[in-house]
Structure 1
Amino acid sequence: MHASATLSPAHLPAIEPVSIPVRELLPWAVFGSILLLLAIYFVGVEEGAAAIFNTMYVHEFVHDGRHLLGFPCH
Protein backbone atom coordinates (compact mmCIF):
# COMPACT_ATOMS: atom_id res chain seq x y z
CA MET A 1 0.00 0.00 0.00
CA HIS A 2 1.31 3.39 -0.93
CA ALA A 3 1.65 6.14 1.65
CA SER A 4 -0.68 8.34 -0.38
CA ALA A 5 -3.42 5.66 -0.32
CA THR A 6 -3.71 5.51 3.48
CA LEU A 7 -6.49 7.40 5.21
CA SER A 8 -5.60 9.97 7.78
CA PRO A 9 -8.03 10.88 10.60
CA ALA A 10 -8.91 14.06 8.69
CA HIS A 11 -10.24 11.99 5.76
CA LEU A 12 -12.43 9.66 7.83
CA PRO A 13 -16.18 10.32 7.78
CA ALA A 14 -17.63 11.88 10.93
CA ILE A 15 -19.67 9.54 13.12
CA GLU A 16 -22.87 11.16 14.30
CA PRO A 17 -25.16 9.79 17.04
CA VAL A 18 -28.55 8.49 15.98
CA SER A 19 -31.54 9.53 18.07
CA ILE A 20 -33.96 6.77 19.08
CA PRO A 21 -37.61 7.81 19.35
CA VAL A 22 -39.23 7.19 22.74
CA ARG A 23 -42.05 5.17 21.15
CA GLU A 24 -39.45 2.64 19.93
CA LEU A 25 -37.56 2.60 23.23
CA LEU A 26 -40.56 2.34 25.56
CA PRO A 27 -41.50 -1.33 24.85
CA TRP A 28 -37.92 -2.42 25.54
CA ALA A 29 -37.83 -0.37 28.76
CA VAL A 30 -41.08 -1.98 29.93
CA PHE A 31 -39.82 -5.47 29.03
CA GLY A 32 -36.52 -4.88 30.84
CA SER A 33 -38.35 -3.54 33.89
CA ILE A 34 -40.56 -6.63 34.05
CA LEU A 35 -37.52 -8.91 33.82
CA LEU A 36 -35.78 -6.90 36.54
CA LEU A 37 -38.79 -7.09 38.85
CA LEU A 38 -39.07 -10.85 38.31
CA ALA A 39 -35.37 -11.30 39.07
CA ILE A 40 -35.65 -9.20 42.24
CA TYR A 41 -38.70 -11.21 43.32
CA PHE A 42 -37.05 -14.58 42.82
CA VAL A 43 -33.79 -13.54 44.44
CA GLY A 44 -35.19 -11.46 47.27
CA VAL A 45 -38.70 -12.59 48.14
CA GLU A 46 -39.25 -16.18 46.98
CA GLU A 47 -39.26 -17.85 50.38
CA GLY A 48 -41.65 -18.44 53.23
CA ALA A 49 -45.21 -17.09 53.33
CA ALA A 50 -44.92 -15.09 50.10
CA ALA A 51 -43.57 -18.03 48.08
CA ILE A 52 -45.24 -18.97 44.81
CA PHE A 53 -43.56 -22.38 44.79
CA ASN A 54 -43.88 -24.55 47.92
CA THR A 55 -40.52 -26.26 47.43
CA MET A 56 -37.10 -24.86 48.29
CA TYR A 57 -35.70 -25.34 44.75
CA VAL A 58 -35.90 -21.66 43.78
CA HIS A 59 -34.46 -20.59 47.13
CA GLU A 60 -31.53 -22.97 46.86
CA PHE A 61 -30.91 -22.00 43.23
CA VAL A 62 -30.57 -18.28 44.06
CA HIS A 63 -29.17 -18.72 47.59
CA ASP A 64 -25.66 -17.38 46.92
CA GLY A 65 -27.07 -14.52 44.84
CA ARG A 66 -29.29 -13.53 47.76
CA HIS A 67 -26.31 -13.13 50.05
CA LEU A 68 -24.24 -11.41 47.37
CA LEU A 69 -26.99 -8.79 46.91
CA GLY A 70 -27.49 -8.39 50.67
CA PHE A 71 -30.81 -10.22 51.13
CA PRO A 72 -30.90 -12.21 54.39
CA CYS A 73 -32.46 -15.64 54.23
CA HIS A 74 -31.68 -17.48 57.47
Structure 2
Amino acid sequence: MTTSDTRRSAAPAIDFTATKAALWLSLTAFFALLVLYFVGVDQGATSVFGDNMYIHEFVHDARHLLGFPCH
Protein backbone atom coordinates (compact mmCIF):
# COMPACT_ATOMS: atom_id res chain seq x y z
CA MET A 1 0.00 0.00 0.00
CA THR A 2 1.59 3.24 -1.08
CA THR A 3 0.28 6.67 -0.52
CA SER A 4 1.32 9.91 -2.05
CA ASP A 5 0.78 11.73 1.24
CA THR A 6 3.88 11.81 3.30
CA ARG A 7 3.43 12.97 6.82
CA ARG A 8 5.97 15.48 7.96
CA SER A 9 6.12 16.82 11.44
CA ALA A 10 6.80 20.48 11.19
CA ALA A 11 8.37 21.41 14.49
CA PRO A 12 8.69 25.14 14.98
CA ALA A 13 12.21 26.50 14.85
CA ILE A 14 13.70 27.64 18.12
CA ASP A 15 14.41 31.34 18.21
CA PHE A 16 17.92 31.97 19.56
CA THR A 17 18.21 35.68 19.05
CA ALA A 18 20.62 37.56 21.29
CA THR A 19 17.86 39.47 23.06
CA LYS A 20 15.88 36.37 23.91
CA ALA A 21 19.03 34.53 25.02
CA ALA A 22 20.01 37.45 27.27
CA LEU A 23 16.53 37.50 28.80
CA TRP A 24 16.61 33.76 29.54
CA LEU A 25 20.13 34.03 30.98
CA SER A 26 19.13 36.94 33.20
CA LEU A 27 16.03 35.17 34.53
CA THR A 28 17.96 31.96 35.15
CA ALA A 29 20.72 33.82 37.00
CA PHE A 30 18.15 35.71 39.11
CA PHE A 31 16.34 32.53 40.16
CA ALA A 32 19.64 30.74 40.83
CA LEU A 33 20.77 33.57 43.13
CA LEU A 34 17.38 33.59 44.84
CA VAL A 35 17.63 29.86 45.55
CA LEU A 36 21.22 30.30 46.73
CA TYR A 37 20.07 32.98 49.15
CA PHE A 38 17.29 30.86 50.62
CA VAL A 39 19.44 27.75 50.95
CA GLY A 40 22.77 29.27 51.90
CA VAL A 41 22.36 32.69 53.44
CA ASP A 42 18.95 32.98 55.11
CA GLN A 43 19.59 32.17 58.77
CA GLY A 44 16.27 33.15 60.30
CA ALA A 45 17.72 35.76 62.67
CA THR A 46 19.38 37.62 59.78
CA SER A 47 16.51 37.03 57.39
CA VAL A 48 15.21 39.92 55.33
CA PHE A 49 11.75 38.33 55.48
CA GLY A 50 11.12 38.82 59.16
CA ASP A 51 11.90 37.13 62.44
CA ASN A 52 10.72 33.64 61.57
CA MET A 53 12.66 30.41 61.09
CA TYR A 54 10.27 28.78 58.58
CA ILE A 55 12.53 29.13 55.53
CA HIS A 56 15.58 28.03 57.50
CA GLU A 57 13.86 24.90 58.79
CA PHE A 58 12.38 24.10 55.38
CA VAL A 59 15.79 24.03 53.67
CA HIS A 60 17.76 22.84 56.71
CA ASP A 61 18.77 19.43 55.32
CA ALA A 62 19.66 20.92 51.94
CA ARG A 63 22.00 23.33 53.72
CA HIS A 64 23.94 20.46 55.27
CA LEU A 65 23.92 18.46 52.05
CA LEU A 66 25.48 21.38 50.17
CA GLY A 67 28.01 22.08 52.93
CA PHE A 68 26.58 25.30 54.39
CA PRO A 69 27.07 25.52 58.16
CA CYS A 70 24.10 26.63 60.21
CA HIS A 71 24.76 25.51 63.79
Same structural fold, with TM-score higher than 0.5 when normalized by the shorter chain: yes
Structure 1: where are the runs of 5+ without partners? 2-17
Q: What is the RMSD of the two structures over their aligned residues, measured on CA atoms?
A: 1.9
Which structure shows the higher helix fraction? Answer: 1
CA distance in 2 between partners of 1:54 and 1:70 (Å): 24
CA distance in 2 between partners of 1:56 and 1:50 (Å): 10
Identity of aligned residues (%): 48
Residue 26 of structure 2 corresponds to 30
Residue 13 of structure 1 corresponds to none
Larger radius of gyration between Structure 1 and Structure 2: 1
TM-score (normalised: structure 1): 0.68
1:67 is aligned to 2:67: no
Count of aligned pairs = 58
How far apart are residue 23 of structure 1 and its match?
A: 1.3
1:47 is aligned to 2:43: yes
